[in-house]
Chains A and B, each alone.
Chain A
Amino acid sequence: MTQEEFVRQVQANQGILQKICRLYGQTQPDREDLFQEIVVQLWRALPKFQGQSKFSTWMYRVALNTAISDFRKKRRALHVSGTEVTSLEIRSELSEVSKEERLDILYVAISRLPEIETAIVMLYLENKSYDEMEDILGISANNLRVKMNRIKEKLRQLTKNISHGT
């Protein structure tokens, strides 16, 4: 694969990378650094990509490996400010919370999970099958199902707490 083709592939799949950076980076500069580090690692690992799996699957592996094990700055959970919370609480009772706000709450909730659970829930939201998740993470599909049930329960509680400002 030439450099041009590689750049095209990264551009086409960069939504994946941006989401990983948003979940694993604390601040905007952290996310930009992580994005750059992932691109560097992808380029270096490219000779090992033999096309046995989809480019996006391979990309998930490299990106998650970089975010989880290389990016060692202490993760701090994202948060929603006090006034936003009060407003969210009132409006959630009136079912007026917008899609963007719900997405923000979800990001905040996921950022409070441990690193591996963050990766699992992200792949789940990306509509990856348990077999694909196993191929990326190396955790058996059965174990992933059990973990996913636990994570769903945790997230239900976390999003409830965040909406109520705790």
Chain B
Amino acid sequence: MELDDMKNIWNDEGIEAAGADTISAMIGKQSQSPIAKMKRNLRMELWILVPSLGIGAIYYFIAFKSEYSIIGWVYTLLLALFCYYFFRKNKLLNEMQCSSCRVKSNLELQLKMVERYVRFYLVSGTATLPVLLIFMGIVLYYKKPSLINKTVLYPSATNPVWKFLLAWFILLTVSTTIMWLLNRGYINKLYGRHINKLKQLLTQINE
């Protein structure tokens, strides 16, 4: 079968046409593309996390007055960090797709933006734990001074500065490494196949 001989048959093929009403109804429907789904998930995260953190902050400010207001501030800081995280991720998702562009440049753009998105996800996800540990350390230092002499995590008469610094260094290094490995595995599971597929499509184009 020669391809050129098939052109006429190909172009004569009868197509079952969709009516105007069917097409109009499709316009209003939700997109099922992976990027649209990622945007919807992100919005859901926003609707869950913002009220939870906001309520947490208000609770600590009101219920404990000034005693634990620092925890209220920690919640507020987390809320601010999450808002930044949301806007940054949303911006990356909005820039991820250019369906009017040429196929090759759309694939290149998607690959670049997905890799950037994954890097941001990995860095922000990993940084959360050490930041929280440091905050909790500071809070406990001021609010529970009785702990100071009982742990190597605070300097005291029996705990020299080098020991305290070494303890924090080990705690932060170990926790950050574990968090990074867990995050990397999770992100790879979520986006690894997507990235490989994009690379494979670009190889098909360039070979």
Contact = CB atoms under 8 A, between A and B. Distances in A.
Q: Do A and B bind each other?
A: yes
B33 A70 contact: yes
Contacts of B27: 3, 6-7, 39-40, 43
Contacts of B74: none
Contact of A70 (B35, B100, B101): B35
B99 A65 contact: yes
B31 A37 contact: yes
Interface in A88-141: 99, 102-103, 105-106, 114-117, 119, 121, 124-127, 135-139
A62 to B, nearest CB: 5
B11 A102 contact: no
Given A125-B3, A159-B1, A14 B106 contact: no
A54 interface: no
B10 interface: yes
Contact of B100 (A8, A10, A62, A159): A62
A40 B31 contact: yes
Given A68-B103, A125-B11, A41 B33 contact: yes
A45 interface: yes
Interface of chain B: mostly helix, strand, loop or mixed: helix
Nearest to A59: B100
Given A62-B100, A65-B101, A37 B204 contact: no
Interface string B127-159: 000000000000000000000000000000000
Interface in A3-53: 3, 6-8, 10-11, 14-15, 18-19, 33, 35-37, 39-41, 43-45, 48-49
Given A114-B204, A116-B201, A156-B2, 17 more contacts: A3-B24, A8-B20, A11-B19, A14-B18, A33-B32, A39-B27, A41-B33, A58-B100, A61-B102, A65-B106, A72-B197, A125-B7, A126-B10, A136-B102, A138-B105, A139-B205, A156-B3
